[in-house]
Amino acid sequence: MKGFGHFPLILLSLVLFALLPFLPFGVWQAFLLDVGFFVLLFTALALSWDLVARTGQLSLAHGAFFGLGAYSAGLLAPQLGTLPALLLGALTAGAGALVLGSVTLRLHGLYFAIASLAFSEVLRTLALKLPFTGGPIGLPVPPPFAGAWPLATYYLSFGVLLLATALSLWAERSPFRLAQAATRQSEAVARVLGVRVVQVKLWSLLLGSLVAGLAGGVYGMKTLFLSPYDAFSLGRAVEALVIPIFGGLYTTLGPLVGGVVLVSLEQALRLWIKEGYLVVYGAILILVILFLPRGLVGILGRRRG
């Protein structure tokens, strides 16, 4: 019941995000909604990465799943409409994960990381070369629901975070958590205990990729434009792994707190420090990693004894 220990905090943050558009922030309202959009989206991406990390696999393919979802949704949205395009985008990312996973999930740790990095590079190159992706020039994407509802992108990203949180809580609460933990700690022992290691890793990768693909689709609808270097960027995958490390690995609350703090912190530092803000940002990251090895949620754990 690990995940439910922090359930009130998780619920509270979700309720706050749901109500954000209606809170009285005055002139800061629109700005905070835009920041909130990216907080929600990158937090969902981080949760999806953490789902895979719980099996001990270091995925650098999350940029690729994000890009697959973004491009598929962007290409399909003009014909199918927003929601079917997003759904198919997520499924395409899932299909990509199945292909990657079926070939590489017998690899461990760093070897899988390298394979997943190569997968990202292949997909980025394909996006650059295929005739229907817009190639290096990029792909314009229509806004959701033809721009009829201004809050659509915000609530779509909230929906992605809800899904990511629900999946993460389910994974924490169910026996799947034990299978993931056993796989992470020792595959050989897990096998002896009867855990179908490859299957557990494949399911984790599939679930993570579905969320990442969905997040990519919503991202495209907000930025209205995709380029292979942005959509399939390695930086996206790195962001997805930094947030859970900062907030606390293998939990739902960790990436949630990490995403909210880290993405907001970056925006705030950019606003108030301007040039050189990355120095402060980097220093905070290093300090947290050095002194809070279990991330920000480690503080809560300590308080609870």
CB 214 within 8 A of CB 160: yes
Between 153 and 251, whose beta carbon lies closer to other proteins? 153
Q: How many CB atoms lie within 10 A of CB 293?
A: 11
CB of 27 to other proteins, least distance (A): 5
Residue whose C-alpha is closest to residue 166's, from 44, 248, 297, 35: 44
Helix (H, G, I), strand (E, B) or coil at 262: helix
Draw the binding track, 177-216, toward other proteins (x: CB under 8 A; -: no contact).
----------------------------------------
User: For 70, what's the count of Cα atoms within 13 Å in the CB-facing half-sphere?
Assistant: 34
Between 9 and 33, whose beta carbon lies closer to other proteins? 33
CA distance 132 to 135: 8
The piece of 74-82, 94-102, 228-236, 287-295 that touches other proteins (CB under 8 A) is 228-236
CB of 163 to other proteins, least distance (A): 20
Out of 177, 267, 280, 285, the only residue in the binding site for other proteins (CB under 8 A) is: 267
Contact call for residue 282 and other proteins (CB under 8 A): no
Draw the binding track, 1-40, toward other proteins (x: CB under 8 A; -: no contact).
--------------------------xxxxx-xxx--x--
Residue whose C-alpha is closest to residue 216's, from 95, 62, 109, 76: 62
CA distance 6 to 203: 25
Helix (H, G, I), strand (E, B) or coil at 61: coil
The number of residues that bind other proteins (CB under 8 A) is 37
CB of 230 to other proteins, least distance (A): 6
Contact call for residue 136 and other proteins (CB under 8 A): yes
Give strand pairing partners of 139. Answer: 226
CB 77 within 8 A of CB 218: no
Binding site for other proteins (CB under 8 A): 27-31, 33-35, 38, 42, 125, 128, 135-138, 140, 143, 147, 150, 219, 222-225, 227-230, 266-267, 270-271, 274-275, 277-278
